[in-house]
Chains A and B, each alone.
Chain A
Amino acid sequence: GESVGLHLPTLSVQEGDNSIINCAYSNSASDYFIWYKQESGKGPQFIIDIRSNMDKRQGQRVTVLLNKTVKHLSLQIAATQPGDSAVYFCAEKRNGGSQGNLIFGKGTKLSVKP
């Protein structure tokens, strides 16, 4: 069935390096995408979002890239820090669907080595 999925379940990076977390989606009707960070025992924390009429959006140390041709979304974290260690989820909202219904991927666990 249609789903949001992640290419890599785990990612280990050295402190100070850049991290790239990837996400594939299968529904071309999706028009809004969000990245969340979830630390152990906590709720998902909003990081950055992007609409389907954009291909790039930048925040503080984070950049989200959207490639609608191949239905691919990525989160880039610059100068990764130990505090970035968490599970990262991408989520999509489908155009025409209930705005409440975010479809989440399974998550990528990011581990930052000091």
Chain B
Amino acid sequence: NAGVMQNPRHLVRRRGQEARLRCSPMKGHSHVYWYRQLPEEGLKFMVYLQKENIIDESGMPKERFSAEFPKEGPSILRIQQVVRGDSAAYFCASSRAPGQWGSGTSTDTQYFGPGTRLTVL
């Protein structure tokens, strides 16, 4: 049972280039979340998506950042015209469904991928 998959694991871009980060959720999961982590800090929420819908993008910078989760294929976080401040680890998480508490782990528990480490030169 494969977990959340992210690629690439490491990405190097020069200032002004575009970065595309991909996330494939766990099998059976239809909710995807993107977080950003700076060194020595906790994760900061960016965006929450379901298939073909953005549910909450309150953590996304207003410019240069966009996210999608198409009907087919992985979720993509896109950063246009990258700047050095975009250098960070970007994590994707997925969950089965929101708002239901079962006998064990909640079905909306988020499981994380290994992350993409973006370095902007």
- Where the two chains meet, the residues of A that have a C-beta atom closer than 8 Å to any C-beta of B are 4, 32, 34, 36, 42-46, 49, 51, 89, 91, 98-107
User: What is the predominant secondary structure among interface residues of chain B facing chain A?
Assistant: loop
Q: B58–A99 contact, CB under 8 A?
A: no
Residues A100 and B111 in contact, CB atoms below 8 Å apart: no
B110 at the interface (CB under 8 A from A): yes
The reply to whether B42 and A105 contact each other, CB–CB distance below 8 Å, is yes
Q: Which residue of A lies closest to B32 (CB)?
A: A100
A89 to B48, CA, bound (A): 20
Contact (Cβ within 8 A) B113 A100: no
Q: Is A44 within 8 A of B106, CB to CB?
A: no
Whether A101 touches B108, Cβ cut-off 8 Å, given contacts A42-B114, A89-B42, is no
Check B42–A46 contact: CB distance below 8 A: no
10 nearest CB pairs, A to B: A100-B48, A104-B42, A98-B56, A43-B112, A99-B98, A104-B43, A44-B112, A101-B45, A100-B33, A43-B114
The distance in angstroms between the C-alpha atoms of A37 and B113, with both chains bound, is 13
Q: Which residues of A contact B59 (CB under 8 A)?
A: 101
